[in-house]
């Protein structure tokens, strides 16, 4: 496990976080197993940066985000926010911390209450935390709507009167209401059209500059993650397999899964696409209820070795600020002799 020094500019530190969902069967709801959605992840987020969390569906990226804000109770592990451990806080303490950590959700249709007006949605937290009421609250909501590029005169309207992009802006205004330090964005643009995605991503970047926000940006779209993130963590089947700064990750990925994932992303340029060679992974993602023994990637890895079926690779710093969990890197090869994957067609 990694031990990252508690440097003062680290805003969030996640240590060996686990979230298992029990599988129950039969009349007595016997506990027969666990879906290991998040299986021991560790990382830290620096103040003012954007950490991208990417992976395919079912890799546990959303569960990680939700467990950090305690929408799910962690099965094990710790989450430190500004040095204080969140993972065992009780109601009042947790409520206070939640002002500082907010979340933006994927589906702008499901994440806004259809029976509440925009004023109610954005202003709810202001009332709940006794920050502003009445005219003051209205003023603050107007200010927030302006901040996210919506006309404050729309605050009496209901969610169904807005388009997807506008709804996502409302969700963002709600997240900003309490002056948070950290926002966990869970696929904030993936439900939107391309031209609207660009609007929302630009808005996120502007707000970060203006308000000094820190983001954890969860997405499956690797090109969008590269666009917005300072550092990127790649998840596979409940674990982080690689974590480093964006340029290193995209230019010289170490983990075979990262290499395959990057090569699979289509690039909107015909000349580039023509020359590209793809690493096509065989098979599907195994079930997180029954992950493979050893390295979780061993069923699909093109450079798998015997050790990968027996020992779980450790997530270690193989180069300064470059973390990776792969036997090929840590046991057999020095990081400077990077593996070149055979191109399989």
Partner 1 sequence: MSFNEPQPASEHLLEVKNLTTRFYMEDGVVYAVNDVSYTLDESETLGVVGESGCGKSVHALSMMRLIPIPPGKIEAGEVRLHGRNLLELDDEEMRRVRGAQIAMIFQDPMTSLNPVLTIGSQITEALKLHQGMNNKEAQERSAELLATVGIPEASQRLDDYPHQFSGGMRQRAMIAMALSCNPMILIADEPTTALDVTIQAQIIDLVRRLQDKLGMAVIWITHDLGVVAGLAQRVNVMYAGCLIETGPVKQIYDYPHHPYTVGLLGSLPRPGDPLGTRLLSIPGEPPDLIGLLEGCPFAPRCTYAVERCLHEAPTLEPTEPGHMVACWEKENVRKAK
Q: Which is nearer to partner 1, 125 or 207 (CB)?
A: 207
- Kindly state whether residue 330 participates in binding partner 1, applying the rule CB under 8 A: no
Nearest to 172 by CA among 135, 205, 139: 205
Task: Please list, in sequence order, all residues whose beta carbon lies within 8 angstroms of the beta carbon of residue 170, skipping any fewer than 6 positions away.
Answer: 108, 112, 118, 121, 122, 148, 150, 159, 162
Q: Smallest gap, in angstroms, from Cβ of residue 123 to partner 1?
A: 25
Identity of the residue, 138 or 227, whose beta carbon is nearer to partner 1 in the bound complex: 227
CA distance 76 to 40: 8
Nearer Cβ to partner 1, position 223 or 321? Answer: 223
# binding residues, partner 1 (CB under 8 A) = 44
331/328 Cα distance (integer angstroms) = 6
Of 225, 195, 186, the C-alpha closest to 65 is 186
Q: Name 31's bridge partners.
A: 24
Interface characters, 246-285, with partner 1 (x: CB under 8 A): x---x---------xx-xxxxxxxxxxxx-x-x-xx--xx
- The answer to the question of residue 343 lying near partner 1 (CB under 8 A) is no
SS3 labels along 167-202: HHHHHHHHHHCCCCCEEEEECCCCCCCHHHHHHHHH
For the bound state, the minimum distance from the C-beta of residue 55 to partner 1, rounded and expressed in Å, comes to 9
Would you call 108 exposed, middle or buried from its count of C-beta atoms within 10 A (0-12, 13-18, 19+)? buried
Q: Which of 71, 193, 310, 331 binds partner 1 (CB under 8 A)?
A: 193
Nearest to 19 by CA among 88, 73, 59: 73
Q: Which residue has the tokens 């779209």?
A: 221
C-alpha of 92 from chain center = 26
Nearer to partner 1, 69 or 104 (CB): 104
Q: What x/- string results for residues 137 through 176 when contact with partner 1 is judged by CB under 8 A? A: --------------------------x-x-----------
Rounded least distance, CB 19 to partner 1, Å = 21
Choose between 19 and 167: whose C-beta lies nearer to partner 1: 167
**42 vs 106 by CB, closer to partner 1:** 106
The yes or no reply on residue 26 touching partner 1 (CB under 8 A) is: no
Contact residues toward partner 1 (CB under 8 A) are 56-57, 163, 165, 193-199, 201-202, 205, 220, 222-224, 226-227, 230, 246, 250, 260-261, 263-274, 276, 278, 280-281, 284-285, 345
């Amino acid at each position: 496990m990694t031990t990252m020094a508690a440097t003062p500019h680290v805003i969030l530190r996640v240590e060996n976080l686990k979230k298992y969902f029990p599988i129950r069967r039969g009349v007595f709801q016997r506990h027969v197993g666990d879906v290991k959605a998040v299986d021991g992840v560790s990382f830290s987020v620096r103040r003012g940066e954007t950490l991208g969390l990417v992976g395919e569906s079912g890799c546990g990226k959303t569960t990680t985000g939700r467990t950090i804000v305690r929408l799910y109770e962690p099965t094990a592990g710790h989450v430190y926010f500004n040095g204080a451990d969140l993972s065992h806080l009780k109601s009042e303490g947790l409520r206070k911390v939640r002002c500082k950590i907010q979340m933006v959700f994927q589906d702008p249709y499901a994440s806004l209450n259809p029976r509440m007006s925009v004023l109610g949605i954005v202003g709810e937290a202001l009332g709940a935390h006794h920050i502003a009421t009445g005219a003051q609250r209205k003023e603050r909501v107007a200010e927030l709507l302006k901040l996210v590029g919506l006309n404050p005169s729309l605050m009496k309207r209901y969610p169904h009167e807005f388009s997807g992009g506008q709804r996502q802006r409302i969700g963002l205004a709600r997240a900003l209401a309490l002056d948070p330090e950290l926002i966990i964005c869970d696929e904030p643009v993936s439900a939107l059209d391309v031209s609207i995605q660009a609007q929302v991503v630009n808005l996120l970047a502007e707000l970060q500059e203006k308000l000094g926000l820190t983001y954890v940006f969860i997405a499956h779209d690797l090109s969008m993650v590269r666009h917005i993130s300072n550092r990127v963590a790649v998840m596979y089947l409940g674990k982080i397999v690689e974590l480093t700064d964006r340029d290193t990750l995209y230019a010289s990925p170490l983990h075979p899964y990262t290499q395959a994932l990057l090569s699979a992303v289509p690039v909107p340029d015909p000349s580039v696409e023509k020359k590209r060679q793809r690493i096509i992974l065989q098979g599907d993602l195994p079930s997180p209820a029954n992950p493979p023994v050893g390295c979780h990637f061993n069923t699909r890895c093109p450079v798998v070795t015997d050790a990968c079926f027996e020992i779980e690779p450790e997530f270690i710093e193989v180069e300064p600020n470059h973390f990776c969990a792969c036997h090929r890197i840590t046991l057999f090869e020095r990081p400077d002799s990077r593996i070149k994957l055979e191109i399989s067609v």
